Amino acid sequence: MRRVIATAFAIAMLAGTAATTATTAAAGESGKSSLHDCRLDWNDANTAGIKCWGGTFVGWAVCKNGSRAQGQAAYPGTTSYACCSSYGSSLVKPVRWGAVQVR
């Protein structure tokens, strides 16, 4: 299941780089992303919790070392936690985050 989610995430990221960049900017500035009706629900120095509605999704956040941490797939209305400590880093501030819908 993880491989399927990772593959779906990679394909979505490659196919929609421009759209994802626009979504990330909108999400980071307004706290909402109209694409998935998402918000940054919680964060600390290392972890971002992204909550979305409208479908199963995977949340992600950008780390200071340039890595992109990916959370687990989450059901609508729940939170996907992307943790930079897994990459030996912490979150970029202000937090840059986004989500990819999993079909």
Mean pLDDT of 86-99: 96
Write the burial class of residue 90 (CB in 10 Å: 0-12 exposed, 13-18 middle, 19+ buried).
middle
Tokens of 75: 């059901």
Global pTM reads 0.67
| Neighbouring C-alpha atoms within 13 Å toward the C-beta of 26 | 14
Cα–Cα dist 59/100, whole Å: 7
What percent of the chain lies above the pLDDT cut of 90? 59
Confidence of residue 54 (pLDDT cuts 50, 70, 90): confident
Mean pLDDT of 45-71: 96
Please write the tens of the pLDDT for every residue from 6-50.
444 443 443 333 233 334 433 444 444 444 589 999 999 999 999
Mean pLDDT of the chain: 77
pLDDT recorded at residue 85: 97
| Contact call for residues 48 and 97 (beta carbons, < 8 A) | yes
Query: Residue 51: how many CB atoms within 10 A of its CB?
Result: 20
